[in-house]
Amino acid sequence: MAAPTTDATAIANGEVARTRTSWQLHSDRYTKGGLPPDFAEPWKNSDATLIVEKRKFHVHQTLLKLSSPFFEALFADTNFAEGKTKTATLKNKKAADVCDLLQVLYPPHKNLAAEMTDRILPLADEFLMWGIKKQCERALVSVGDFNFKSVATADRYKLRHLRENAVNFITIHYPFRTLLNSNAFTRLDESTRLEILERRIRYTYQHIPDRIETLVWGNKEKTLRERCQCLKETLIKTCDLSPGQTADPL
C-alpha cells in the first residue's frame, strides 16, 4: 500500500509539524503520566466538546457518561441538540473550574487539594459526579481542622463522613459561649444546632448523668425551635453569659 501523501504547501508552511507536535503533546500528557491534559484540541479520539466561557474542552463521552449520570443523559438523548452534536455549553460556570474538574477526573488525576473544594464540589454535585464528591470529602476531612462552615458544607452536599467529623470536633473544642454567640452557628439548620448543643451538653456533663437528663431529655415534647431556645437560655445561665456578650474567638 502506498504511503499517504501530504500537500507540499502544507509541509512548507509547517502545518504538518505543528499538528504532530500538538498531538504528541496530548499523547505524552495522557500516556506518560506527565502534566494533565488541557483539552484545548481534539486528542486521543475525543468525541465530545464542552464549551465554557467561549473556551472549548475536547472530552470523551464514555468517561463522562461513566462518571456522571448528568452527562450520560445529556449526550444520550438525541432529542436535544447536545445529544445530536455532542457539544454542550455549560452556562454560569468558570472555564478554570471546569478545567480543574476534568483534570481531577482524567489520568494522571490532578491532586484535589482542600482549597480547591469550594470550586470543585458545587460542580461535582450539579453533575452528579459521586466519585469526585467523595474525593472532595476526603480532602476536607484530611485537613483535620473543622468549623461551622464544615458542617454547613456537609449538610448542603450530604457528606456524612465530613459532617460527623466536624460535629465531633465542634462538640469537643468549641465552648458554649462560642456556640451561643456565633453568627455562623445561628445560620446552621435548626436541627443541626440542636444536635450540636445536645452533644456539647453530653460532653460537658458526662460525669453528671442527672444534669444531662434535665437539660436534654426534659424537652423532648417541645418543637425544635422551643428546644433550641430552652437549651440556649439554660446554657446562658450555666455559663453566666449575657445574650449580648461577645463570643470567644473561633
Note the pLDDT tens digit of each residue in 31-80. Answer: 455 678 999 999 999 999 999 999 999 999 999 999 999 999 988 877 66
Q: How does residue 244 score in pLDDT terms, banded at 50, 70 and 90? A: very low
User: In a 10 Å sphere around its CB, with 0-12 CB exposed, 13-18 middle and 19+ buried, how is residue 38 labelled?
Assistant: middle
Rounded distance between C-alpha atoms, residue 55 and residue 60, angstroms: 16
Cell reading at 130: 459521586
Give the Cα separation of 99 and 90 in Å (integer).
Answer: 12
Higher pLDDT residue, 133 or 194?
133
Q: Can you tell me the distance from the alpha carbon of 125 to that of 121, in angstroms, rounded to the nearest whole number?
A: 6
Percent of the chain with pLDDT over 90: 49
pLDDT at 177: 78
Give the whole-angstrom CA distance, residue 80 versus residue 242.
Answer: 60
Position with higher pLDDT, 216 vs 144 = 144
Are 120 and 112 within 8 A, CB to CB? yes
**Long-range contacts of range 186-191, CB-CB < 8 Å, 24 or more positions apart?**
187/148, 187/152, 188/148, 188/151, 188/152, 188/155, 189/155, 190/224, 190/225, 190/228, 191/224
Q: How far apart are CA 23 and CA 43, in angstroms?
A: 7
Place of cell 466519585: 131
User: What is the model's pLDDT at position 149?
Assistant: 94
More confident residue, 166 or 174: 166
Residue with the bigger pLDDT between 43 and 2: it is: 43
* Lowest-confidence segment of 61-65, 127-131, 188-192, 231-235 by average pLDDT: 231-235
Decide if pLDDT at 122 tops 90.
yes
- Per-residue pLDDT, 91: 94
Cα gap 200→185, rounded to integer Å:
13
Q: Is the pLDDT of residue 20 over 50?
A: no
Q: What is the pTM of this model?
A: 0.73
Lowest mean pLDDT among 75-89, 133-147, 148-162, 236-250: 236-250
pLDDT at 5: 40
- Residue reference for cell 424537652: 219
Helix axes 95-105, 130-143, angle to 10 degrees: 90
Q: For residue 142, what pLDDT is reported?
A: 96
Give 75-110 pLDDT, tens digit per residue: 887 766 766 788 999 999 999 999 999 999 999 999
pLDDT of residue 233 exceeding 60, the answer is yes
C-alpha separations of 31 from 21, 28, 37, 102, 107 in Å = 15, 5, 10, 16, 8
User: Are 106 and 50 contacting, i.e. CB atoms less than 8 angstroms apart?
Assistant: no
Residue with cell 461535582: 124
Confidence band, pLDDT 50/70/90 cuts, at residue 248:
very low
Is pLDDT larger for residue 203 or for residue 43?
43
Confidence of residue 135 (pLDDT cuts 50, 70, 90): very high
